[in-house]
Amino acid sequence: MTDRAGWLSFPDAPRIVHPPPGPRSRELLGDQARWETDAVGYPHYFPIAPRIGQGATIEDVDGNRFIDWVGGICVLNLGHRHPRLVAALERQSEEIWHTLELPTEARVRFLKELRETLPGKLHNHARIFFSVTGGDCVETAVNLADFATGKRGTVAFSGAYHGVHGGAVHLTSGRRYHATTSFPSGSVIRVPYPDPYRPVLGADEGAAGTISYLEHLVNDPHSGVDAISSVLVEPILGEGGYVVPPDDFLPSLREFCDRHGILLIVDEVQTGLGRTGKMWAVEHSGVSPDIVCIAKSIGGGLPLAVVAYRDDLVRELPRGFHLGTFRANALALAAGAETLKVLREGDLLDRTRHRGPELLHRFRAIADRHPMIGDVRGRGFMLGVEFVRDRTSRTAWGERAKEMRSALLARGVLMHTSGSWDQVLRFMAPLVIEDELLERGLLAFEDALESLEAGAEPVRGAPRAPRPTGPGALAPMPVHAVPSPLVPPVPGRDLPGDDA
């Protein structure tokens, strides 16, 4: 598959032979722009036409090879075309592809594998809804919580992204997403997510501010909130900027829910399947959710999504409570069962738990040399680098993060933005990425920073000569999320203008 033993990726990435977009990419991008809706965004962020994906690398139609630190936004945790998934898909493709809700071997194998991996009380005691997208899962989870409690009212957090389906879009926080939907907003109660870098409800006190605000919503008859059936939470904010909440947040949220008969829905769409070094991000906290939403990486790159709920949550659901023709496609299930197996059997979770803090440390060392970086944070292979105009005001610098994205593309590294102002570059490489490609990506990252600081146009063409590295090139670091040494937390909040 590759010319270097043991490698899944193209060993010579990054390789730029035609500065992107190359001539063939331009042609395809042009046709797309003419014939597809102009609402598509990614061709503007990454103006290339991919031809083949391999491990943690992509080759475009012009022969450029990129290190992929996007991974389809946490879809490709096992990388592009993992050999085990290719084999599973080949086997399934010889049998059957689509069966509506009828059971197949692949479907039942998947259900068994999934139930075995689920966290807390869901472990081997869950029931499963199938779906196709993360947004649909979230909507179904909220419908289920309302049905189970007989109440309406969902707490969702600022900075949250839960998709843009009819109902889910109102659980997502960004104004820009609400602006393009025609569907009414339902009963969403918005609460600030505890963000250690940009605290809203008090700094230095962990999740206490958030929890006391939630208590106020329940206890004060004039809080303006009639009822709460569920709290919907991302264990780490994804699109919201890779914000890691204080350690006491999820446990306190669980206690709050228990005190008031409220269900806890954990959205693991972006954080799940080993992304943070455990199968589920919620496992870092020891919290047991009532309902979990899973999508993105569960299908190994094929469309598959799942809602898992405690099997004692509801006695009986009406037939057809949730529908959709393409749910639980047999090919996607074959890939999904194998994805779970690879993650459970191999050392990828351990490696991510160890490599993640090492990488965090390396990004922080780079940040120490470049004041435009205000914060570096994350867990496992879910790391965020936040750009600020200055470290004192913490004014978000989205333009700089986007310039970095272009400068990195020119150097053969794909990295995407997130955060309210697009000010956070996020590292979300496939977990299978080779150490050497991590080193090369870090070199390209600092080279791009220096070039922007020097006011130079992003350098086109090949990056500096790759520095081959041996085992141990990434210095071992403690296995936990380390508080950022870059900027001491300050009370209050700095809100730059919303350019979203």
Which residues bind to ligand PLP, rule: CB under 6 A? 73, 133-135, 138, 161-163, 234, 238-239, 267, 269-270, 295
**CA 309 – CA 292 distance, rounded (Å):** 6
* Least distance to ligand PLP, CB of residue 135, Å: 3
Other Cβ atoms closer than 10 A to 1: 12
Are the C-beta atoms of 351 and 433 separated by less than 8 Å? no
Give CA 75 to chain center in angstroms. 8
Residue 263 pairs in a beta bridge with 230
* Least distance to ligand PLP, CB of residue 182, Å: 18
* Least distance to ligand PLP, CB of residue 472, Å: 34
The amino acid at 155: V
Nearer of residues 173 and 210 to ligand PLP, judged by Cβ: 173
* Least distance to ligand PLP, CB of residue 307, Å: 12
C-alpha dist (Å) from residue 413 to 71, 171, 298, 440: 12, 32, 25, 9
Residue 190 pairs in a beta bridge with 156
* Least distance to ligand PLP, CB of residue 12, Å: 31
Nearer of residues 133 and 276 to ligand PLP, judged by Cβ: 133
Nearer of residues 267 and 447 to ligand PLP, judged by Cβ: 267
Nearer of residues 64 and 271 to ligand PLP, judged by Cβ: 271
* Least distance to ligand PLP, CB of residue 131, Å: 9
Are the C-beta atoms of 394 and 487 separated by less than 8 Å? yes
* Least distance to ligand PLP, CB of residue 295, Å: 5
* Least distance to ligand PLP, CB of residue 226, Å: 26
Nearer of residues 299 and 441 to ligand PLP, judged by Cβ: 299
Nearer of residues 13 and 160 to ligand PLP, judged by Cβ: 160
* Least distance to ligand PLP, CB of residue 480, Å: 23
Nearer of residues 276 and 451 to ligand PLP, judged by Cβ: 276
Nearer of residues 21 and 289 to ligand PLP, judged by Cβ: 289
Nearer of residues 169 and 257 to ligand PLP, judged by Cβ: 169
Nearer of residues 70 and 367 to ligand PLP, judged by Cβ: 70
Residue nearest to ligand PLP (CB): 134
Nearer of residues 238 and 246 to ligand PLP, judged by Cβ: 238
* Least distance to ligand PLP, CB of residue 157, Å: 11
* Least distance to ligand PLP, CB of residue 1, Å: 29
